[in-house]
Amino acid sequence: MFQSFVLYCLCRWTIQWKRVREGTGRIVGGDPDFKIDTHKMYSDLARHAGQLNDLGAAIGNAVDERIQSERFKAELITNVSHDLKTPLTSIINYVDLLKKQDIDNPKAQEYIEVLDRKSQRLKKLTEDLVEASKASTGSLSVHLDRLGMVQLVQQALGEFEEKFAQSRLTVVPAFPEEECSILADGRHLWRVIDNLLSNCNKYALEGTRIYVEVCRWEGKVVLSIKNISRQPLNIPAERLMERFVRGGRRTGAARERIGGGRG
C-alpha cells in the first residue's frame, strides 16, 4: 500500500515537473506571456512555476517597453525631420536666388557658396534621419533589382578616389573575375556603400590601406571593407554598428551624434 502511494506521488511529481519544463521552454522560446498552470501542484513545484511565470511577465513588460521606446524614438526623429524640412527648403531656395544674382564682391560669393554647401549637407542629414526612422519601423520602401555588386563597388570607389588621395589612403581591391549578381535595392545599397567608404575616409589612419573585397561565400555575396582606425576604439565593435553611434576619444565613453549608423 505504501509503495503504491509512493509510486503515485512520483508519477504525479513527474507529470507536474514535465509541465514546468515545457512551460519554461515556451517562455525561453519567445512566448513570455505563457503561464504555467500551477493548479494542484506540489508546493515546491508551484512556487518554482510561479517564479517562472513572474519572470516571463517581467520579460514581456521589458520587451513592450523597448518596442514602445523604439517607436517613440522613430516618431520623434520623423517629426523633427519634417519640422526641419520647411525652413530648410526656404533657405535652399533663397540661396539659389542669391547664386543667380550678379554679385561682384568675392567675399559675398564665398559666403553664398558656404551657405549652399552647408544647406545641402543639412538636407542630406535630414533625409538620412527620415530613412533611419523608416528603417526602424519597418516602413522603408524597397525596390529589388538585379545588380552587379563588383560594378557598384567600383563605381563607389571611383567617387572617393580624390578624397582618399587627399588623406593618403590606398585602396587594395580584391574582386572575383566574374561579376557577382545580387537582388537588391540599388539606391539603398549605394547609400550603405557610400556611408562605409565615407567612414573610412573620415576615421582611417592617414597613410594606411583600405582593403575592399567582394567574394562569394556559402551561396551569398559578401562585401568586406577593412581599415586601420585613426583613434583607438574604446567601445565594442558591435556597438559601432548601432545607429547614431561613433567612437569617442574618451576612455570608456562613446559620443552619440547624428549619423546613419550604417557602418
The string of pLDDT tens digits covering residues 80-119 is: 777 888 888 899 999 999 888 888 888 888 999 999 999 9
pLDDT at position 261 is: 44
C-alpha cell at 17: 515537473
* Cβ–Cβ < 8 Å for 237, 247: no
* Cβ–Cβ < 8 Å for 210, 99: no
Which of 20-24, 63-67, 222-226, 234-238 tops mean pLDDT?
A: 222-226
* Cβ–Cβ < 8 Å for 250, 234: yes
Amino acid at 20: V
Q: Is the pLDDT of residue 63 over 90?
A: no
Q: Is 76 helix (H, G, I), strand (E, B) or coil?
A: helix
Q: Is the pLDDT of residue 258 over 60?
A: no
C-alpha 124/C-alpha 75 separation (Å) is 19
pLDDT at position 1 is: 66
Q: Is 146 helix (H, G, I), strand (E, B) or coil?
A: strand
Q: Is the pLDDT of residue 157 over 90?
A: yes
pTM exceeds 0.85 for this model? no
Helices and strands of the chain, counted as H and E runs: 7, 7
pLDDT at position 99 is: 87
Residue 170 DSSP class: E
Tally of CA atoms within 13 A in the half-sphere of 255 that contains its CB: 9
Tally of CA atoms within 13 A in the half-sphere of 127 that contains its CB: 9
Residue reference for cell 507529470? 15
- Kindly give, in sequence order, each residue whose CB lies less than 8 Å from that of residue 151, ignoring residues fewer than 6 positions away: 179
pLDDT band, residue 253 (cuts 50/70/90) = very low
C-alpha cell at 137: 519601423
Work out the widest C-alpha separation in the chain, in whole angstroms: 112
C-alpha 39/C-alpha 7 separation (Å) is 21
pLDDT at position 222 is: 93
Q: CA of 252: how far to CAs of 33, 207, 233, 244, in Å? A: 37, 27, 10, 17
* Cβ–Cβ < 8 Å for 215, 176: yes
* Cβ–Cβ < 8 Å for 223, 203: no
Residue 235 DSSP class: S
User: Could you tell me where the DSSP H helices lie in 100-170?
Assistant: 106-137, 149-159, 161-166
